[in-house]
Structure 1
Amino acid sequence: MRIAFLVNSIAGEASYYTTTALALAAIARGHEVCYVTPGDFIMRADDSLLVRAVVPPPKQKKADSFVATLHDGKWQAETIDISEVDVLFLRNDPSEDADERPWAAHVGAMFGRLAVERGVITVNDPDGLSRAQNKLYFQDFPQSVRPTTLISKNIDEIRDFIAAHKQGVILKPLQGSGGRHVFKIASNKESNLNQIFEAVSGEGYLIAQGYLPDATEGDIRLFLMNGKPLERDGTYAAFRRVPAKGEVRSNMNAAGTAAAAKITPKILEVADAVRPKLIADGMFLVGLDIVGDKILEINVFTPGGLPDVEQLYGVDFSPDVIAALEHKVAIRNNYGSSVPNRVLATL
């Protein structure tokens, strides 16, 4: 099969990315991969949909050399009709483009829908991703797995919320990822609260969440595939994201580090609670960020960390993800478009 990975940019790809691990796993299983960026879609006058794709050499085994090949610019981009792609894997992060290239932020969902209409299996389902463009999507999940939350642009509302939470509050933008503009507020008396409010509210609405004391040890990133925890022989695709000293954020791009994580029955209950909605929205591969029995974030766009899992446990889950895509392609070949993309995405 041919898998097209939609990424923010070719230059931005790295050897330690989960997308790289997935691409190499696909190549190892005899599949063809190509990379597409937000500016590479073409819709012609006859309504045909094409992509200008970077096609790496087929015999690639090492992540460093694979990414070096992507970066060297010696490849020739190919124009491919989208009907010649079996799976369009949407792996772009809208928040990365929101400021500099707002036109690019929602391209995956927009053209993903058109790809679905032309028979291409598209994961995660673009309609589901459209509903998940900001953290408001998180509020649709069961209240039992969410921290107490306020969403507002009103400083007085936020001050009252902080006053009601004696253990503190996490304040962050409604849109965005990677830990940008995330602050821990201990009291509504903090002298710089107004400045923090101005900095964060400049990006739009704010989320205030009751602080979870267990977060000092970091959160647990647990991968779900087809709505279920990704697991093989008792080992889960999961790790603890440990924040750097003096840092409230555990994001890996905020100097967080990966450590082994124990998956408890309580964590599996959290995964069970969110499963129905993830399946209903066609979310094939998802990362849950969990503290205790609460979810801090649900990453449905670019859940990363599979290479970290392999380093920690010696288990590479990338082939499992590709095998799941093979299964979906087999179903599509047998049943055609009678199985909607949103259903097929989580079968």
Structure 2
Amino acid sequence: MKICFLMYPWERVSPENDSTLRLIHEAASRGHTVAITTPNSLTIRDTVAHAFCNVLRKSDKLTSNIPSFYRNAQFKRSKLPLAGFDAIIMRANPPLDTVALNFLDSVRADTFIMNDIDGLRIANNKLYTASFSGEASRYIPGTHVSKNKEYLERVLMESQSEKMIMKPLNGFGGQGVIVVEKSAQQSFRSLLDFYVGEGENSNYVIMQDYVDGAEHGDVRILMLNGEPIGAMRRVPAANDVRSNIHAGGREVKHQLTKEEKALCRHIGPKLVRDGLYFVGLDVINGKLIEVNVLSPGGITRINRLNRTRLQAKVIDFVEHVIAAKELIVERKNQFRKVIEDADAI
């Protein structure tokens, strides 16, 4: 199988904890051809989408030590047609590069893309949770999004809680997430001036109901094909509301509760319908706060806490999808041969 990882630059990989590196190592250890590229390396030649790729040189004996694998990896630089890959695994960091998705539009019929580019377009921002309906909607905390400062002030004052969560619509990794309180209304307008800005360059802001227990952290759940495959609790650093690991939080072992399992059952089908096969859910006290679809992390830390290898499940899934696609093509060719032979009689 030939797999291309569309990701951040190789030199930015953190070998000790990087989830993408675990996926690359797993694919390489199975003998698959592995190439890595970045959104800036996409190009078109004679109307055919290509990428300048670093192709991992295969080794007779691949080390099981992943940091060592990273340090010793050797590549060959090549310009390769994207349609030649069996799978393209999207692992680029936020924000979403919409131009990169336009390059991939031309190869989606030939190549399995995970996650699906239409799914990425609709779900790469914090508004995606508002699209859940029916039973799934009860797992979504009240969310308000606007650039209108007067409206946002009214949202805070009309809230049944004394505090709310405020964050920029285009933030990631816990950037800009703060708690705002009714008792600090005088400084709230100043915060809105900073977060929203003025005029044509103003930004959307999210105001979200404060979920009880948020001060104790959140739960990151990794979902594969609509089912949970692993989870961890992220505990915020002292005097910080953010539990993101990159914001100073730490991870602890976690078993999914009955309510969290129910959340996954109700959320999972829509994720699959939208082509979002591998995602990370951020959950607080049974409420879905965010869906991470571009480059969900946590594989290494969940592995360490539970003595498992989640990357094997992800690559298993990709292999099964490709095998199914190949079987469909084989059956089609067999049926065409039968028709051709009948016509020749």
TM-score (norm 1): 0.87
Contact 2:124 2:294 in 1 (8 A): no
Q: How many residues align?
A: 320
Which residue number in structure 1 is paired with residue 338 of structure 2?
none
> What is the rounded CA distance, in whole Å, between the counterparts of 2:114 and 2:166 in structure 1?
31
Residue 199 (1) aligns with residue 194 (2) = yes
Contact 2:39 2:100 in 1 (8 A): yes
1:67-94 C-alpha deviation (Å, 9 max, x unpaired) = 3346xxx744111122321110011123
* 2:140 maps to which of 146, 150, 155: 146
Deviates more, 1:54-63 or 1:15-24: 54-63
Task: Write out the 4+ residue segments of structure 1 that deviate beyond 3 Å after TM superposition.
Answer: 188-191, 336-339
* 1:240 maps to which of 233, 238, 241: 233
Deviates more, 1:161-170 or 1:238-247: 161-170
1:232-261 C-alpha deviation (Å, 9 max, x unpaired) = xxxxx1000111111111111101111011
Contact 2:49 2:104 in 1 (8 A): no
Contact 1:88 1:112 in 2 (8 A): no
Which residue number in structure 2 is paired with residue 28 of structure 1?
29
Contact 2:57 2:76 in 1 (8 A): no
1:28-58 C-alpha deviation (Å, 9 max, x unpaired) = 122121111011112112x222111112332
Letter in 2 for 1:159: E
> What is the rounded CA distance, in whole Å, between the counterparts of 2:244 and 2:102 in structure 1?
28
Letter in 2 for 1:206: V
Residue 330 (1) aligns with residue 290 (2) = no
Which residue number in structure 2 is paired with residue 212 of structure 1?
211
Letter in 2 for 1:199: F
Indicate the structure (1 or 2) with the bigger Cα radius of gyration. Answer: 2
Contact 1:167 1:210 in 2 (8 A): no
Contact 1:91 1:301 in 2 (8 A): yes
> What is the rounded CA distance, in whole Å, between the counterparts of 2:181 and 2:119 in structure 1?
35
Which residue number in structure 2 is paired with residue 262 of structure 1?
255
> What is the rounded CA distance, in whole Å, between the counterparts of 1:335 and 1:269 in structure 2?
34
> What is the rounded CA distance, in whole Å, between the counterparts of 1:89 and 1:267 in structure 2?
27
- CA RMSD of superposed structures (Å): 2.0
Which residue number in structure 2 is paired with residue 177 of structure 1?
172
Distance change (3 Å), C-alpha of 1:161 and 1:4: same
> How big is the shift at 1:18?
0.7
SS in 2 for 1:269: helix
> How big is the shift at 1:188?
5.8
Contact 1:310 1:316 in 2 (8 A): yes
> What is the rounded CA distance, in whole Å, between the counterparts of 2:310 and 2:227 in structure 1?
14
Letter in 2 for 1:177: F
Distance change (3 Å), C-alpha of 1:30 and 1:194: same
> What is the rounded CA distance, in whole Å, between the counterparts of 2:131 and 2:36 in structure 1?
32
* 1:161 maps to which of 155, 163, 175: 155
Which residue number in structure 2 is paired with residue 50 of structure 1?
50
TM-score (norm 2): 0.87
Which residue number in structure 1 is paired with residue 111 of structure 2?
120
Letter in 2 for 1:193: F
> What is the rounded CA distance, in whole Å, between the counterparts of 1:23 and 1:135 in structure 2?
28
Deviates more, 1:11-20 or 1:198-207: 198-207
Which residue number in structure 2 is paired with residue 233 of structure 1?
none
SS in 2 for 1:54: strand
Q: % of aligned pairs identical?
A: 29
Which residue number in structure 1 is paired with residue 3 of structure 2?
3
Letter in 1 for 2:22: A
Which residue number in structure 2 is paired with residue 101 of structure 1?
none
SS in 1 for 2:12: coil
Residues 282-293 of structure 1 correspond to what in structure 2 (within 5 A)?
282-293=275-286
Contact 2:222 2:280 in 1 (8 A): yes
> What is the rounded CA distance, in whole Å, between the counterparts of 2:221 and 2:161 in structure 1?
29
Which residue number in structure 1 is paired with residue 246 of structure 2?
253
Which residue number in structure 2 is paired with residue 344 of structure 1?
none
SS in 1 for 2:256: coil
